[in-house]
């Protein structure tokens, strides 16, 4: 008699995940502005109450809008929350921008999170890594593992769709927010990461989003910039006078050549 091929176990329930989180004791969530870490923060708060904490990192590589979004999410959840400054540019391996730049960034960030958590009796450190993240080349996850961070969404076998579904039902304000990444992910590997360049990228992207675009990436190589928006919004970006306005705005920021990508945003590891 033929047998059915083995299948991947389905996702664990919220109840099972809450039990796992309770077993870990006082916990701290590395909370960005994204939906994955927001879901973990909510679950940790439901499981642990006042023994759940969230830390959002701020600094030159993190867009101010992301910090604001994380603060809004933490307030909505009710979890105890702190914004902690960190400067990955102090690490030469980050500044030089090799292909594994994320490893150096996460190493600095996890150290800052643990330094905040240790005197407060934190027993477990949590992040928002979920199953879909494991299919990519993510040196940052290696650094998180080395720092002893736990991935509760991976333990629960939740994919991105599971996370968004949970966040939507739970009423998290960023349940459908597009994924974001460190501002340095816009800079071509091998080009030095500097504070002024990160600031130019942040200003450029914010200005374009303010014109009504959902997701924006300003990719940089030298002083050249390539603007990506979601494929459904490429025609809008290419329309006049908007296209000329965007080019002029970026040229005023110091970019010598501005290209509006006709293919739109494409997912890249960590970007």
Provide the 3-class DSSP secondary structure of residue 182.
coil
Query: Is the pLDDT reported for residue 15 higher than 90?
Result: yes
Q: How confident is the model at residue 181 (pLDDT cuts 50, 70, 90)?
A: confident
> Residue 4: what pLDDT?
43
The residues, any chain, with a CB within 8 Å of residue 195's CB and separated by 6 or more, are 60, 89
Nearest to 58 by CA among 92, 30, 17, 22: 30
CB 150 within 8 A of CB 21: no
The residues, any chain, with a CB within 8 Å of residue 5's CB and separated by 6 or more, are none
CB 258 within 8 A of CB 250: yes
Query: Is the pLDDT reported for residue 9 higher than 80?
Result: no
Query: Is the pLDDT reported for residue 270 higher than 60?
Result: no
Mean pLDDT of 171-182: 91
Q: How confident is the model at residue 1 (pLDDT cuts 50, 70, 90)?
A: very low
What mean pLDDT is reported for the chain? 93
pLDDT tens sequence across 97-133: 999 999 999 999 999 999 999 999 999 999 999 999 9
Alpha carbons 58 and 94: distance in angstroms, whole number:
16
pLDDT tens sequence across 230-248: 999 999 999 999 999 999 9
Q: For the chain, what percent of residues have pLDDT higher than 90?
A: 90
Alpha carbons 184 and 181: distance in angstroms, whole number:
8
Nearest to 28 by CA among 129, 138, 118: 118
CATH class name, domain 14-170 = alpha beta
Domains of the chain, residue spans: 14-170, 183-260
Alpha carbons 235 and 264: distance in angstroms, whole number:
10
What are the backbone dihedrals phi and psi of residue 154, each rounded to the nearest 5 degrees, phi first? Answer: -70, -45
Mean pLDDT of 31-53: 97
């Amino acid at each position: 008699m033929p047998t059915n091929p083995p299948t991947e176990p389905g996702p664990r329930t919220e109840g099972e995940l809450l039990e796992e989180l309770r077993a870990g004791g006082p916990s701290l969530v590395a909370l960005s502005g994204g939906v994955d870490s927001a879901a973990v923060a909510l679950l940790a708060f439901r499981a642990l109450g006042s023994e759940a904490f969230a830390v959002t990192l701020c600094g030159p590589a993190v867009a101010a809008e992301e910090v604001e979004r994380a603060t809004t999410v933490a307030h909505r959840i009710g979890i105890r929350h702190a914004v902690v400054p960190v400067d990955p540019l102090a690490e030469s391996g980050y500044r030089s921008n090799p292909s594994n730049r994320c490893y150096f960034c996460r190493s600095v960030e996890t150290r800052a999170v643990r330094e905040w958590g240790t005197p407060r009796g934190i027993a477990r450190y949590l992040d928002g890594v979920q199953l879909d993240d494991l299919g990519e080349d993510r040196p940052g996850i290696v650094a998180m593992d080395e720092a002893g961070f736990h991935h509760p969404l991976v333990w629960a076998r939740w994919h991105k769709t599971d996370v968004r579904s949970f966040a939507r039902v739970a009423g998290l304000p960023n349940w459908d927010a597009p994924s974001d990444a460190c501002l340095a992910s816009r800079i071509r590997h091998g080009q030095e990461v500097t504070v002024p360049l990160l600031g130019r990228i942040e200003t450029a992207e914010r200005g374009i989003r303010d014109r009504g675009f959902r997701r924006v990436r300003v990719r940089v190589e030298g002083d050249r910039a390539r603007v990506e928006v979601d494929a459904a919004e490429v025609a809008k970006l290419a329309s006049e006078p908007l296209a000329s306005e965007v080019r002029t705005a970026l040229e005023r920021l110091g970019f010598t050549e501005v290209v509006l990508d006709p293919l739109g945003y494409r997912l890249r590891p960590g970007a």
